[in-house]
Chains A and B, each alone.
Chain A
Amino acid sequence: EIVLTQSPGSLSLSPGERATLSCRASQSVSQTYFAWLQQKPGQAPRLLIYGTSYRATGIPDRFSGSGSGTDFTLTISRLEPEDFAVYYCQQYSSSPRTFGQGTTVESK
Protein backbone atom coordinates (compact mmCIF):
# COMPACT_ATOMS: atom_id res chain seq x y z
CA GLU A 1 0.00 0.00 0.00
CA ILE A 2 1.02 3.61 -0.51
CA VAL A 3 2.43 5.22 2.63
CA LEU A 4 1.94 8.98 3.01
CA THR A 5 4.35 10.93 5.20
CA GLN A 6 3.47 14.47 6.20
CA SER A 7 5.83 17.21 7.32
CA PRO A 8 6.19 18.97 9.56
CA GLY A 9 4.38 17.16 12.34
CA SER A 10 3.27 20.49 13.73
CA LEU A 11 3.39 24.17 12.82
CA SER A 12 3.11 27.05 15.25
CA LEU A 13 1.95 30.18 13.45
CA SER A 14 0.04 33.39 14.05
CA PRO A 15 -3.19 34.47 12.34
CA GLY A 16 -2.42 36.15 9.04
CA GLU A 17 0.69 34.07 8.43
CA ARG A 18 1.18 31.62 5.59
CA ALA A 19 1.17 27.87 6.23
CA THR A 20 2.84 25.36 3.95
CA LEU A 21 2.19 21.67 4.58
CA SER A 22 3.86 18.81 2.73
CA CYS A 23 2.94 15.24 1.98
CA ARG A 24 5.26 12.68 0.40
CA ALA A 25 4.04 9.39 -1.03
CA SER A 26 6.02 6.14 -1.05
CA GLN A 27 5.15 5.72 -4.72
CA SER A 28 3.69 7.88 -7.44
CA VAL A 29 0.08 9.00 -7.01
CA SER A 30 -2.21 10.24 -9.78
CA GLN A 31 -2.99 13.92 -9.31
CA THR A 32 -6.65 13.12 -9.96
CA TYR A 33 -6.83 11.04 -6.78
CA PHE A 34 -5.15 13.11 -4.10
CA ALA A 35 -6.89 15.11 -1.37
CA TRP A 36 -6.44 17.18 1.75
CA LEU A 37 -8.79 17.06 4.74
CA GLN A 38 -9.13 19.21 7.83
CA GLN A 39 -10.13 17.90 11.24
CA LYS A 40 -10.94 19.88 14.35
CA PRO A 41 -11.13 18.33 17.83
CA GLY A 42 -14.23 16.22 18.28
CA GLN A 43 -15.29 16.65 14.66
CA ALA A 44 -15.26 14.49 11.57
CA PRO A 45 -12.73 15.17 8.84
CA ARG A 46 -13.82 17.72 6.24
CA LEU A 47 -12.77 17.63 2.61
CA LEU A 48 -10.76 20.73 1.64
CA ILE A 49 -9.02 19.86 -1.61
CA TYR A 50 -9.52 17.02 -4.08
CA GLY A 51 -7.81 16.17 -7.35
CA THR A 52 -4.66 17.83 -5.90
CA SER A 53 -5.85 21.39 -6.51
CA TYR A 54 -9.66 21.63 -6.61
CA ARG A 55 -11.34 23.22 -3.63
CA ALA A 56 -14.35 21.42 -2.24
CA THR A 57 -17.69 23.17 -1.98
CA GLY A 58 -17.58 26.12 0.38
CA ILE A 59 -13.81 26.09 0.93
CA PRO A 60 -12.31 29.60 0.84
CA ASP A 61 -9.69 30.49 -1.73
CA ARG A 62 -6.98 30.99 0.88
CA PHE A 63 -6.61 27.19 0.68
CA SER A 64 -4.69 25.89 -2.33
CA GLY A 65 -3.12 22.59 -3.30
CA SER A 66 -0.38 21.62 -5.70
CA GLY A 67 1.96 18.79 -6.52
CA SER A 68 2.49 15.72 -8.60
CA GLY A 69 4.12 12.30 -8.50
CA THR A 70 5.18 11.75 -4.91
CA ASP A 71 5.22 15.30 -3.54
CA PHE A 72 2.15 17.36 -2.71
CA THR A 73 1.62 20.65 -0.88
CA LEU A 74 -1.25 22.38 0.88
CA THR A 75 -0.89 26.14 1.31
CA ILE A 76 -3.02 28.35 3.50
CA SER A 77 -2.21 31.87 2.33
CA ARG A 78 -3.34 33.81 5.41
CA LEU A 79 -4.35 31.88 8.49
CA GLU A 80 -7.69 32.68 10.02
CA PRO A 81 -8.53 31.69 13.63
CA GLU A 82 -10.78 28.88 12.38
CA ASP A 83 -7.93 27.30 10.39
CA PHE A 84 -6.07 26.00 13.44
CA ALA A 85 -6.65 22.27 13.15
CA VAL A 86 -5.10 18.99 12.01
CA TYR A 87 -4.64 18.48 8.28
CA TYR A 88 -4.43 15.08 6.59
CA CYS A 89 -3.40 14.17 3.09
CA GLN A 90 -5.12 11.23 1.39
CA GLN A 91 -4.53 9.21 -1.75
CA TYR A 92 -7.24 7.24 -3.48
CA SER A 93 -5.23 6.39 -6.55
CA SER A 94 -4.74 2.81 -5.47
CA SER A 95 -6.44 0.50 -3.03
CA PRO A 96 -6.43 0.69 -0.10
CA ARG A 97 -6.88 4.44 0.06
CA THR A 98 -4.49 5.74 2.67
CA PHE A 99 -3.94 8.82 4.82
CA GLY A 100 -0.97 10.69 6.16
CA GLN A 101 -0.32 10.90 9.89
CA GLY A 102 -1.44 14.54 10.02
CA THR A 103 0.06 18.00 10.52
CA THR A 104 -1.18 20.07 13.43
CA VAL A 105 -1.42 23.80 12.75
CA GLU A 106 -1.50 25.53 16.11
CA SER A 107 -1.74 29.13 17.17
CA LYS A 108 1.48 30.74 18.32
Chain B
Amino acid sequence: QVQLVQSGAEVKNPGASVTVSCKASGYTFSDYGLHWVRQAPGQRLEWMALIKPGDGNTVYSQKFQDRVTITRDTSASTVHMELSRLTPEDTAVYYCARHGPVSMNDYWGQGTLVTVSS
Protein backbone atom coordinates (compact mmCIF):
# COMPACT_ATOMS: atom_id res chain seq x y z
CA GLN B 1 0.00 0.00 0.00
CA VAL B 2 1.13 3.55 -0.68
CA GLN B 3 2.79 5.18 2.32
CA LEU B 4 4.47 8.52 2.81
CA VAL B 5 6.41 8.72 6.07
CA GLN B 6 7.81 12.06 7.14
CA SER B 7 10.62 12.98 9.49
CA GLY B 8 9.97 14.13 13.03
CA ALA B 9 9.08 17.45 14.59
CA GLU B 10 11.61 20.28 14.57
CA VAL B 11 12.15 23.37 16.70
CA LYS B 12 14.21 26.11 15.09
CA ASN B 13 15.39 29.62 15.89
CA PRO B 14 14.37 32.52 13.65
CA GLY B 15 16.76 32.87 10.72
CA ALA B 16 17.66 29.19 10.68
CA SER B 17 16.84 26.59 8.04
CA VAL B 18 14.89 23.35 8.38
CA THR B 19 14.82 20.20 6.28
CA VAL B 20 11.80 17.89 6.30
CA SER B 21 11.98 14.49 4.62
CA CYS B 22 9.30 12.31 3.06
CA LYS B 23 9.98 8.63 2.35
CA ALA B 24 7.70 6.95 -0.17
CA SER B 25 6.86 3.27 -0.41
CA GLY B 26 4.28 1.01 -2.03
CA TYR B 27 4.64 2.40 -5.55
CA THR B 28 7.27 3.26 -8.15
CA PHE B 29 8.86 6.41 -6.73
CA SER B 30 9.85 7.92 -10.05
CA ASP B 31 6.36 7.63 -11.54
CA TYR B 32 4.57 10.21 -9.37
CA GLY B 33 5.34 13.75 -8.30
CA LEU B 34 5.38 14.83 -4.67
CA HIS B 35 3.96 18.09 -3.40
CA TRP B 36 4.66 20.02 -0.23
CA VAL B 37 1.71 21.69 1.52
CA ARG B 38 1.75 23.47 4.85
CA GLN B 39 -0.91 24.33 7.42
CA ALA B 40 -0.21 27.11 9.88
CA PRO B 41 -2.31 27.27 13.06
CA GLY B 42 -5.84 28.38 12.21
CA GLN B 43 -4.94 28.84 8.53
CA ARG B 44 -5.98 27.06 5.39
CA LEU B 45 -3.76 24.57 3.63
CA GLU B 46 -1.12 26.27 1.50
CA TRP B 47 0.69 24.73 -1.48
CA MET B 48 4.43 25.28 -1.56
CA ALA B 49 6.13 23.17 -4.20
CA LEU B 50 6.20 20.09 -6.42
CA ILE B 51 9.02 17.78 -7.45
CA LYS B 52 8.94 15.16 -10.15
CA PRO B 53 11.23 12.42 -8.84
CA GLY B 54 11.73 10.92 -12.26
CA ASP B 55 13.72 13.86 -13.60
CA GLY B 56 14.12 16.07 -10.54
CA ASN B 57 12.21 18.95 -12.07
CA THR B 58 10.64 21.30 -9.55
CA VAL B 59 7.87 23.89 -9.46
CA TYR B 60 7.74 26.40 -6.63
CA SER B 61 5.06 28.72 -5.35
CA GLN B 62 6.01 32.34 -5.98
CA LYS B 63 5.55 32.97 -2.26
CA PHE B 64 8.30 30.53 -1.31
CA GLN B 65 10.54 30.27 -4.36
CA ASP B 66 13.42 32.26 -2.88
CA ARG B 67 13.42 30.25 0.38
CA VAL B 68 12.48 26.66 -0.47
CA THR B 69 14.50 23.92 -2.11
CA ILE B 70 13.13 20.48 -2.93
CA THR B 71 15.49 17.60 -3.72
CA ARG B 72 15.10 13.88 -4.13
CA ASP B 73 17.17 10.78 -3.41
CA THR B 74 15.91 8.14 -5.79
CA SER B 75 17.99 5.39 -4.17
CA ALA B 76 16.12 6.01 -0.90
CA SER B 77 12.73 6.92 -2.45
CA THR B 78 12.89 10.09 -0.38
CA VAL B 79 12.17 13.73 -1.03
CA HIS B 80 13.61 16.54 1.07
CA MET B 81 12.17 20.02 1.57
CA GLU B 82 14.47 22.72 2.90
CA LEU B 83 13.01 26.05 4.03
CA SER B 84 15.47 28.79 4.87
CA ARG B 85 15.40 32.14 6.71
CA LEU B 86 12.68 30.92 9.05
CA THR B 87 10.39 33.33 10.90
CA PRO B 88 7.73 32.60 13.53
CA GLU B 89 5.16 32.80 10.71
CA ASP B 90 6.66 29.59 9.30
CA THR B 91 5.42 27.68 12.33
CA ALA B 92 3.17 25.08 10.75
CA VAL B 93 2.57 21.43 10.01
CA TYR B 94 4.28 20.52 6.74
CA TYR B 95 2.85 17.72 4.61
CA CYS B 96 4.08 15.86 1.59
CA ALA B 97 1.36 14.62 -0.73
CA ARG B 98 1.55 12.46 -3.83
CA HIS B 99 0.58 13.81 -7.25
CA GLY B 100 -1.91 11.13 -8.28
CA PRO B 101 -2.79 9.69 -11.68
CA VAL B 102 -5.24 12.52 -12.45
CA SER B 103 -3.21 15.18 -10.64
CA MET B 104 -5.07 14.97 -7.37
CA ASN B 105 -3.26 14.70 -4.03
CA ASP B 106 -4.25 11.11 -3.38
CA TYR B 107 -1.92 10.16 -0.50
CA TRP B 108 -0.56 12.34 2.27
CA GLY B 109 2.25 12.00 4.75
CA GLN B 110 1.45 12.20 8.46
CA GLY B 111 2.76 15.75 8.72
CA THR B 112 5.78 17.31 10.42
CA LEU B 113 5.38 20.12 12.94
CA VAL B 114 7.98 22.83 12.54
CA THR B 115 8.06 25.38 15.35
CA VAL B 116 10.05 28.59 14.92
CA SER B 117 10.70 30.33 18.20
CA SER B 118 13.50 32.07 19.98
Where the two chains meet, the residues of A that have a C-beta atom closer than 8 Å to any C-beta of B are 32-33, 35, 37, 43-47, 50-51, 56-57, 88, 90, 92, 95-102
Contact = CB atoms under 8 A, between A and B. Distances in A.
Contact of A90 (B59, B100, B105, B110): B105
Nearest to A50: B104
Contacts of B105: 35, 37, 45, 47, 90, 92
A100 B45 CA distance: 8
Given A44-B95, A51-B102, A56-B104, 11 more contacts: A33-B104, A44-B110, A46-B108, A47-B104, A47-B107, A50-B102, A56-B106, A88-B44, A97-B35, A99-B46, A99-B47
What secondary structure prevails in chain A residues at the interface with B?
A: loop
B117 interface: no
Nearest to A93: B103
B30 interface: no
B72 to A, nearest CB: 20
